[in-house]
């Protein structure tokens, strides 16, 4: 079970509303490579993951990503506070606004509601960890692209923190894949499941 | 941010594998009225909810539903442990198994991957709380139906606990809607938003 | 069965084309809280609704919403008549236009084709009526938001009529829920299904 | 606007519950080639259809298909009345039941909620009428397949009526396409839009 | 099986980047009436199509559409080469960019990922060929609309080629439907399947 | 562009119809980790992939996967030839049959139509290649699971060939990722994009 702590993992303090930027960043809330998908992927995969270290790693990172999801929600919320109607009308935020006002809804930037079709849980430890390596790379790219589109230093400070965490998670999943291969008595670097191949 | 505690909110101990039942119960993991949707709905709605009590209520219940999601995952996992291939082949579990083996994947019983299209975040406090009342009723019905389909006492013990929680959440959201109406100086019981109507 | 009458429920006469506004209002045609979803929800729920008054109410409101769907179609159509290509190119209407020209297609403002995942039919009368209360609140918010984004008095006249109807439907569903609770001999205001709980 | 008449277009009287068959026939309620899609397609296309005869045809057939949707709902409802729990548990109906009890929900037989992605409104009269010809053929095939899977004469009587109507609609859309080509001063039988090609 | 040849079916050479136009044309890559859907529809239908000429036709056109898909990919790619960040920020391309950078992803212009729900394979030869006639008309309309929105002669040259091919495919599918009707000993022009009707 | 050769990459000759098994194997046609997704992923990623060797690799494997898609289509087709109605009625194939007869339609085993939401094209070479490594692992697991569910030697012979190819593709994508890291002058084994991090 989970316990909530009222502080964000990393502070978010944004001074300037920017609904257009919010309509881009929402993709890390509910988009294909966002924090919801990340958290859900890891917290779901842990049931069938063998070895306590690996199960624990999935739980740890999955729980941390819940906190990242919260940070993205806070960024979107702060970017859309105190808007005037004219700021909405003229911006790319209007199609989002009509359905969600300034609430935080799990959707991609292009308006596709979050779908679990964008994550995989295969029940196979090697496939799941490789999926996770890909997930962290894809999340990193999305943060790269947000940084390319945003010039708000308040936003970028938080986004850089989140981006950095994805890189660290990528490394930890890489170590986990190595550990798994060793546990499975595999030598070759591009491992396949020995239970099936041998 | 969130902290993970290793114990389930309520214990799950299932002795008899039953992949067919697992393929039904998974709907409370990723189905239209399941725990993932519930948690995501409440944790997302809180950003735009006014009044600290109401924001806190959404956070509390949203966090508790994360723990319920974990319990459903545990039920599905325990119902599919140590299966023989013949148990899979002959059961309604096969279409799930081919894509997810015995991993826990967020899908409805009918195989539709979780979609945020089944939840709403409107940014309007009255609409969001009414959505939540509906959500709790729908989750309650799903648990009713699981109880109708299952005769495993181990499963039913946990399902009854979860069902009971939905009823309590329904009552708390009802009280929250009343509180909101009072705060908005509304008298009529079927409240509409005075900021817009008057 | 249904009979068609050639007049709209409320007249729609729009003088000024405005494709950008059309691309927002289309969400009440095929979006998550739009008239298609409303009509489909009520007309589907009536099969399993007990008590003739309640079945009749669902049929009445479901049929009326079909007429609202037609009104929204007429608004979108009139807002996109006689456009010049330059009016399309420069507007947020272009992504809609490339696939649908100026036809009326059931999609949300953000381009997600109508999905029945956004409506629920649970077969349980209390859950269904609570779902309907939420649906009316959500539709009301969407009309609020359209009014915030539009300054065309021709459009707003029709939108205000539609918004008013949602509020009346909300009240009627509230009365229906009360009636149902009485019929089920329930006293408590946040009713649960006695057939299951007692 | 629409007016509801309490009689079905063709009577449905089914004596024997059969949840398995219901789980197949539901596809004509909310599946890819079902009555909901048919009605929605035609009633949506009419806004941009030129020529009063053609607009009227779309309205007529679209309205009739609403009545067919109602008939399918009645069939599914009657096939699932008075079920015992054991009849549900053992049948392919269980994944539907857990989310919808015995309510009538717009989904395909395979459990995919109705999606407007399965219909097209192009705003081009020739493309729309060709889409409609295809729609009627596809609906006809689905009825063929239901007849192959059902041996209940009560069900088949109504299904045969519906199938016959699709064939008549196909013929009427064929005549409409011919009329359109003549109106567009086109001679060639595989017509293309002269406004664009010449 | 398929063999790849390094030349495009028709040359694509675009000098001027235009991310806004790319965000429209992508709809022929992964949108409802695009080349991916076309190719997938025909190559899938051929398994159940009787008569070698018809099976061969589906294979031929399906394979050609794969080449068209490649052309559309090349157009999108060339329209988004060497962009400056400012060109992305200010354009309708940003919601696409954040998730896909300048990669080519199968989505509609409105951001809905390609869904096979937009194509049909019915296993019935007449229904499938009628579906194909509709598909070609719808693709033709989409190309019409791209031509209305684009004034880049390099783009339009390739788009006109593709549009022309759809018209030819429409004619070939018309001939195929005629051939099928003759093979089925049918006289009436709006053919129905004699295996079922007689 | 593509050229079709009439022979399958590996022969498929299945003697015994088995619609239930077909309803499982279809997942490699249109399911989340199937051959359609694989082919589409690689053929789409190549536009933005730098370095000719890597672009060529994506083209080669993407083209080969088209041939695998064809093999899966042939397997499903041969498993559903010459069925009697009773073989359909009694099997898990019925929900598929009602919409597609015995045509080959791109869907998962659980009836979710193929969605591009299950593939990623990020425009970033490292993220795309990591996605591809995950894709091959996931496809391998699906073939593992088919082998667990099937005891038809004719089917298994072809499935084993396809499974073997996924393992080889995994190795080639591993080598490609190494090559890319070297080209980007990266030393660390869990590489991140130096263009952004340094």
User: E9 pLDDT exceeds 60?
Assistant: yes
- Residue D13 per-residue DSSP state: -
Q: Pick E111 or F186 by higher pLDDT.
A: E111
**C-alpha angle C120-C123-C127 in degrees, rounded to nearest 5:** 65
CB contacts of D101 in chain B (<8 Å) are 141, 144-145
Q: Does D124 touch chain E (CB under 8 A)?
A: yes
Q: Between chains, do E137 and D123 touch, taking CB under 8 Å as contact?
A: no
How far is the C-alpha of F77 from the C-alpha of F14, rounded, in Å?
10
Q: Which residues of F49-79 are buried (b: 16+ CB within 10 A; e: fewer)?
A: beeeebbebbbebbbbbbbbbbbbbbbbbbb
B147: nearest CA partner in chain C: C196
Q: Which helix H or strand E contains E4, and what residues bound it?
A: strand E2-4
In chain E, the residue whose alpha carbon lies closest to the alpha carbon of C101 is: E145
Sign of CA dihedral E30, E35, E37, E40: negative
What's the average model confidence in pLDDT over A30-50? 98
- Nearest residue to E28 (alpha-carbon basis) of E198, E179, E147: E147
Q: What is the chain C residue with the closest CA to D128?
A: C103
Asked if the C-beta of A1 comes within 8 angstroms of chain B's C-beta atoms, the answer is yes
- Contact status of B160 with chain C (Cβ, < 8 Å): no
Confidence at residue A44, expressed as pLDDT on a 0 to 100 scale: 98
Of D100 and A193, the one with more pLDDT: D100
For residue B3, give Cα distances in angstroms to A39, A47, B71.
13, 18, 16
Structural Rg of chain B based on CA atoms: 19
Q: Which of C89, C110, C113 sits opposite E149 (nearest CB)?
A: C89
pLDDT tens string A79-111: 999 888 778 877 799 999 999 999 999 999 999
Torsion angle in degrees (nearest 10) through CA of C42, C47, C50, C55: 50
> What average pLDDT does the segment D31-57 reach?
97
Tens digits of residue pLDDT in D97-114: 999 999 999 999 999 999
Chain B contact present for D89, CB below 8 A: yes
Please indicate whether, in this complex, the C-beta atoms of E33 and D122 are within 8 angstroms of each other.
Answer: yes
Name every residue whose Cβ is closer than 8 Å to that of residue C163 and which is 6 or more positions away in sequence: C140, C143, C144, C147
SS3 A189: coil
pLDDT (0 to 100) of residue A184: 83
- Cα separation of F141 and F147, whole Å? 10
Q: Which of B85, B99, B101 to mutate: most F Cβ within 10 Å?
A: B99
pLDDT band with cut points at 50, 70 and 90 for residue B140: very high
Does A121 lie at the interface with B, CB-CB under 8 angstroms?
A: yes
The pairing of strands D2-4 and E2-4 is unpaired
- Which pLDDT value is given to residue C185? 65
C71: nearest Cα among C155, C164, C173, C168 = C155
F145 in contact with B at a CB cutoff of 8 Å?
yes
Task: Provide the shortest C-alpha distance from residue A16 to chain C (in Å).
Answer: 21
Contact residues on chain A for B47, CB-CB shorter than 8 A:
73-74, 76-77, 103-104
Q: Using a CB–CB cutoff of 8 Å, tell me whether F158 touches chain A.
A: no
Nearest residue, CB atoms, A120 vs list F33, F133, F192 = F33
Residue D52: count other Cβ atoms within 10 Å of its Cβ. Answer: 8
Beta bridge partner(s), residue A115 = B115
Going through chain A in order, the beta strands assigned E by DSSP cover: 2-4
What is the percentage of chain B residues whose pLDDT exceeds 70? 93
Beta carbons of C128 and B147 less than 8 angstroms apart? no
Each residue of B57-85: pLDDT tens digit? 999 999 999 999 999 999 999 999 988 87
Residues of chain C positioned with their CB less than 8 A from the CB of A98: 24, 27, 31, 109, 142, 145-146, 149
Q: What integer is the mean pLDDT of F121-144?
A: 97
| Most A CBs within 10 Å, among F110, F122, F187, to test the A interface | F122
What is the three-class DSSP state of D4?
Answer: strand
pLDDT band at D17 (very low <50, low <70, confident <90, very high): very high
At residue F26, φ and ψ (nearest 5 deg) are: -55, -25
- Would you say residue C68 has pLDDT above 90? yes
Q: For B123, which of A36, A102, A121 is closest by C-beta distance?
A: A102
Nearest to B110 among D88, D95, D101 (CB): D95
What pLDDT does B172 receive? 98
Q: In whole angstroms, what is the distance from residue C28 CA to residue C76 CA?
A: 10
pLDDT of D186 reads 53
Q: Which of residues 23-62 of B touch F (CB under 8 A)?
A: none
In whole angstroms, give the CA distance from residue C58 to residue D103. Answer: 14
Contact F36, F29 (CB under 8 A): yes
Tell me what percent of chain D is helix, strand and coil, each rounded to the nearest 5: 65, 5, 30
Residue E186 is given by DSSP the state -
CA distance A144 to chain B (A): 23
Which ipTM was obtained for this model? 0.93
Structure token digits, residue D44: 């949506």
pLDDT at C187: 47
Note the pLDDT tens digit of each residue in B1-56.
Answer: 999 999 999 999 999 999 999 999 999 999 999 999 999 999 999 999 999 999 99
Subunit contact B131:C138, Cβ cutoff 8 A? yes
From C86's Cα to the closest Cα of chain D, the distance in A is: 18
**What is the C-alpha to C-alpha distance for residues E82 and E80, in angstroms, rounded to an integer?**
7
């Amino acid at each position: 079970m989970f316990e909530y702590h009222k502080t964000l993992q990393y502070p978010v303090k944004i001074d300037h509303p920017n609904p257009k930027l919010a309509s881009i960043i929402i993709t890390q809330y509910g988009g294909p490579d966002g924090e919801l998908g990340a958290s859900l992927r890891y917290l779901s995969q842990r049931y069938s993951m063998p070895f306590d270290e690996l199960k624990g790693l999935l739980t740890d990172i999955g729980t941390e990503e819940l906190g990242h999801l919260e940070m993205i929600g806070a960024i979107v919320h702060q970017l859309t506070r105190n808007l005037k109607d004219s700021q909405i009308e003229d911006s790319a935020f209007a199609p989002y606004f009509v359905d969600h006002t300034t609430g935080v809804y799990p959707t991609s930037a292009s308006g596709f509601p979050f779908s679990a079709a964008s994550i995989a849980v295969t029940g196979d430890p090697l496939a799941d960890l490789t999926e996770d390596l890909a997930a962290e790379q894809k999340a990193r790219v999305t943060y790269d692209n947000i940084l390319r589109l945003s010039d708000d230093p308040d936003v970028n400070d938080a986004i850089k923190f989140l981006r950095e965490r994805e890189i660290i998670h990528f490394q930890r999943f890489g170590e986990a894949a190595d550990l798994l291969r060793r546990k499975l008595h595999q030598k070759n670097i591009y491992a396949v499941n020995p239970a099936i191949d041998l």
